[in-house]
Amino acid sequence: MASRGVQFLVLLSAIFGMWLALILKFSKQSTGYVKYAIYGFPIILGFLFGCYSGFSVIYNMIIFRTCPQKAEDLKKDVQEAKDFYASRGVRFD
Amino acid sequence: MVKYSVLLPTYNERENLPLIVYLLNRELTKCQVDFEILIIDDNSPDGTLAVAQKLQTVFGPEKIRIESRPGKLGLGTAYIHGMRFATGDFIIILDADLSHHPEALPQFIGLQRAGNYDVVTGTRYMNGGGVWGWNMKRKLTSRVANYIASATLGQASTDMTGSYRLYKRAVLERILPSMVSKGYVFQMEIIMRAKALGYRIGEVPINFVDRVFGESKFKLSEITGYLRGVWMLFWTDMKKASPLPTATKAQ
């Protein structure tokens, strides 16, 4: 298996090839919206991908949980550890 | 008995080291497993090594082992160095600064056993996981960084940059010699290689408590360093590995 970059380039060339074939075959016959859709295909694809990326990142940022309880628990654990060493007379300074 | 080796690379962690060691001992004792903690100190100027030696007298030299290095040589080589001395069947890696709480370890060990996973990785993004001490901007940066990695490199884990993990010994022995990256994307390369090699990866939710709140940890140089690392991994064949594992079991 090649690197992700090579895989990506192969996929991209395949899509580009299909798009080019589509233009050569249909662009002369078709009119109006169909023509725009064919020519604008890469832009539409890029736009949709951008939308997906944006929504996905923002949605995940919003649901990214903050856990204040864990910070409190950690403080208690730190104290527990300090007490443990103190009870054994161990000093680290 | 199955043995777990905790690799703990340290640099200026004299404050945190006794705390993390206490908590590791508490949690791993709870799991009723054999374990050792390998402290790999990079000659910290703050006297971390002296603290480690004191810990050895508290918990015993079998539990606390010190394999220090002459200078700050980086995280990646610290793992390779640690693997040379680790005697466990499983390797646990976590940050020594208490942002990774050892209380998650029973879950790591339990999941690994239940599903016979090759790697178990902690994830902040899974249900039950989370962070503390991060504002929206920091959360956004983290999400963008993770999205870029997943989209370009493939999602090997929901938390691509996470560094709290449990490995079967053989997995690290196979992967570490073929590693190409250092620094920011080191952990990501390990998980990508593990996935590419067909290892089974399990995930447990973790809570990342950032104790140095307020301090802006994201510098421009870190962002560019990260992106450069992702770009480098993008063009790396993750299956291409050196044929023979170089790290061998000590003793």
Distance CA B201, CA B208 (A): 20
Distance CA B83, CA B69 (A): 14
Query: From the list B54, B144, B235, which residue is nearest A57 (CB)?
Result: B144
Closest CA to B64 of B41, B39, B82: B39
Cα angle B160-B191-B132, degrees, rounded to a multiple of 5? 35
Distance CA B172, CA B193 (A): 10
The residue range of the domain holding B32 is 3-234
- Residue B211: is it exposed, middle or buried by C-beta count within 10 angstroms (0-12/13-18/19+)? middle
Indicate if the alpha-carbon torsion angle B179, B191, B85, B13 is positive or negative. Answer: positive
> What pLDDT, in 10s, does the model give residues B1-40?
899 999 999 999 999 999 999 999 999 999 999 999 999 9
A68 Cβ under 8 Å from any chain B Cβ: yes
pLDDT interval class at A93 (50, 70, 90):
confident
Select the more confidently predicted residue: A64 or A27.
A64
Shortest CA distance from A53: residue in chain B: B147
CB atoms within 10 A of CB A47: 11
**CATH code of residue B76:** 3.90.550.10
pLDDT of residue A1: 67
CA distance A86 to chain B (A): 12
Tell me: pLDDT of A50 over 60: yes
Tell me: pLDDT of A26 over 80: no
**Residue B196 forms part of a structural domain:** yes
B34 conformational bin, left if phi > 0, alpha if psi -120 to 50, beta if neither = beta
Long-range contacts of B211-220 (CB under 8 A, 24+ apart): B211/A74, B211/B97, B211/B98, B211/B99, B211/B133, B212/B133, B213/B133, B217/B138, B218/B138, B218/B141
Q: Do A2 and B236 touch (CB under 8 A)?
A: no
**Residue B190 forms part of a structural domain:** yes
A75 Cβ under 8 Å from any chain B Cβ: no
**Residue B153 forms part of a structural domain:** yes
The ipTM assigned to this model is 0.87
Residue A57 and residue B143 in contact, taking contact as beta carbons nearer than 8 Å: yes
User: How many domains are contained in chain B?
Assistant: 1
Residue B101 and residue A70 in contact, taking contact as beta carbons nearer than 8 Å: yes
pLDDT of residue B73: 87
pLDDT of residue B220: 83
**Residue B149 forms part of a structural domain:** yes
Distance CA B94, CA A56 (A): 28
Shortest CA distance from A84: residue in chain B: B22
Query: From the list A56, A70, A78, which residue is nearest B19 (CB)?
Result: A78
Chain B interface disruption, residue of A53, A58, A61, most B CBs within 10 A: A61
**Residue B152 forms part of a structural domain:** yes
Shortest CA distance from B141: residue in chain A: A61
pLDDT of residue B212: 62
**Termini Cα distance of chain B:** 17
pLDDT of residue B218: 62
Q: Do A61 and B136 touch (CB under 8 A)?
A: yes
> What pLDDT, in 10s, does the model give residues B187-219?
999 999 999 999 999 999 999 998 764 455 567
Chain A interface disruption, residue of B140, B159, B197, B228, most A CBs within 10 A: B140
User: pLDDT below 70 — which residues of chain B?
Assistant: 212-218, 241-251
A67 Cβ under 8 Å from any chain B Cβ: yes
**Residue B245 forms part of a structural domain:** no
